Structure 1
């Protein structure tokens, strides 16, 4: 990123009346933030209402059962079936943990490399920390919500559906796999579209990942219904929960980098005064 406030690029800028710490136009950014905050509050109210309704009405709705039966009755080609189920496989505990660690370590390593080259590095360290914080916090909250709401898993002995994985004793609303992928891949997508990354010389190398992330977020819901692990309402709740957590941590990330940029600018100004 090249500017008068950040000449070395790909780091934090000093916030001004015209630009944010991320280098975006401040007026445009504030308009987007206000709109996002309104939609976030509306989404939160809808999600809370859905949790209350499902808690007192844990049985699946007729359209839940009908959706599962329709999806499982499509009989996709084996290769397409495997492709659709891939997001669920990657979301299993070991693969998802390994992937998260690799991404966080990768972001921190980039930060250290830039630090050794005397280039702005704070943004990369913060990105790694916030990625881990987003995924781990959202996962913990999902487990807590599952326990509080207490909706039983789809049971093929009760409903005319197929279950392609072992029946687990954990509650089902909202879908943890769906929530995880929205928060995890959503935050990575957000990072890939920030201005420092967009202005990276080789940003086009991220295109395959961006396409896969979008596919995974879309396909994970279908995959959970296909495997018989969740009802449609579980998946929709997972999407909403994941989106709420994703945007909350994006707001927090923006606030943190802005605070840090202002704090750093203040310290530099104080040192400059002392040096005179």
Structure 2
């Protein structure tokens, strides 16, 4: 009997120790994330100011675009570049976002629908304001080919920022515990690969088509990462608050 009690006490102590360790690890992870986010915001602000003060292309910008456009690509690579770039134009991107939001609402995933739609639209608006504030014109040089002239300002790249937030948040959701516990979780693998592929290649496609300079694309990745992390933080906070609310309701009904 005594051994049973001792075992029970040891189990309780072990559970408490494990819980304390998990909380400490989570706290440390949040601190690191916050530090990285602050660094990202500072770097982005400095980057934006420098670009605003020198609106023309940097030497590396022109060299990168010329190098990309000089390569002879097979026709199927051209097709992929076009798909990656133009399926993320405002109209098709808006339709895709609406389909995801409606699909999540049908399955009563209200919070996920709110964050995927709200977070992406907010990032698009922030990008639009950044474009106006920085005021960098689109690439325009006799040394490069412009596939499709665009009237909106260039820095940071809206396509890149949009895709990092939109596909990045979808990827994040696909790796959360409730989704990983889904019976058919492995069926999401092709979608995860496509999302990651688009995030990686959208920058290349925008430079190749003469829509952005390399520095525009780098700014888009940086601003997208900063906004994505902010959206994920808010989603975690909202999820935790809803879980606490449900727990309180369950206690009241007991």
TM-score (norm 2): 0.89
* Corresponding position: 1:262 with 2:244: yes
Select which of 52, 61, 84 maps to 1:55: 52
Report the Cα offset of residue 32 of structure 1. 2.2
Report the Cα offset of residue 17 of structure 1. 9.9
Question: Deviations along 1:137-178, whole A, 9 cap, x unmatched?
Answer: 00000000000100010013xx4110011x222110000000
- Deviation above 4 Å: which 4+ runs of structure 1? 16-19
Q: In 1, Cα distance between the equivalents of 2:34 and 2:192?
A: 25
Select which of 164, 168, 171 maps to 2:147: 164
Residues 190-229 of structure 1 mapped to structure 2, 5 A cutoff: 190-229=172-211
Residues 117-128 of structure 1 mapped to structure 2, 5 A cutoff: 124-128=109-113
Select which of 132, 143, 149 maps to 2:134: 149
2:9 maps to none
Select which of 101, 106, 120 maps to 2:103: 106
1:132 maps to 117
Report the Cα offset of residue 38 of structure 1. 1.1
Query: RMSD between aligned alpha carbons?
Result: 1.6
| Count of residues paired in the alignment | 237
More helix by share: 2
Greater Rg over alpha carbons, structure: 2
Q: In 2, Cα distance between the equivalents of 1:67 and 1:182?
A: 22
1:244 maps to 226
Q: In 1, Cα distance between the equivalents of 2:157 and 2:104?
A: 28
Change (3 A) 1:109 1:26: farther
Could you list the runs of 5+ residues in structure 2 that have no partner in the other structure? 1-15
Q: In 1, Cα distance between the equivalents of 2:118 and 2:83?
A: 25
2:65 maps to 68
Q: Secondary structure at the match of 2:247?
A: helix
Report the Cα offset of residue 191 of structure 1. 0.2
Q: In 1, Cα distance between the equivalents of 2:213 and 2:58?
A: 9
Change (3 A) 1:142 1:18: farther
